[in-house]
Amino acid sequence: MKFNQKLKNAMQELNIRQAQLAGMTGIGKSSISQYLSGMNVPAEEKRRHIAESLGLDPEYFSQPGGGAIIPKSAAVERLSPEDAGKIMGIDKDTVRKGLQQGCFPWGYGIQTSPRRWVYFINARRFAEMEGIRYD
């Protein structure tokens, strides 16, 4: 399966929009659009970065086939919205809203029902982006 199709599948399964992916990865919206259309394919390093930003195995886009998306939660340490809020000195609900709206490049919110959201914050990416030491 080609990169653009795997990226479309991942975004659809995780309920991620282009703007959210751009915010999560730091990659411009126009580049994301080109990736999705198949006009451009990012370098291997950038494909790994996209996979990690989505909480997937870093090799997800390099592996043949188009199997199910299986987050590598054991390999990607997660941070809760509560902990992120404490570290940033803001309310946990503000963190949640930001994740829902795709404002933070280190995580995202997935709406699982009209009143329920699940949040993912990549702890390593959070530390890098917020200038915090990560051990």
Distance CA 116, CA 93 (A): 13
Distance CA 32, CA 63 (A): 20
Q: Helix (H, G, I), strand (E, B), or coil: what is residue 121? A: strand
> Would you place residue 55 in the very low, low, confident or very high pLDDT band (cuts 50, 70, 90)?
confident
pTM check: above 0.75: no
CATH numbers and ranges of domains, the chain: 1-75 (1.10.260.40), 81-130 (no CATH)
How do residues 84-123 score in pLDDT, each as one tens digit?
A: 999 999 999 999 999 999 899 889 998 888 888 889 998 8
Distance CA 73, CA 27 (A): 23
Distance CA 48, CA 113 (A): 30
Nearest to 72 by CA among 58, 62, 86: 58
Task: Say how far residue 44 (Cα) sits from the centre of its chain.
Answer: 17
Task: Say how far residue 55 (Cα) sits from the centre of its chain.
Answer: 6
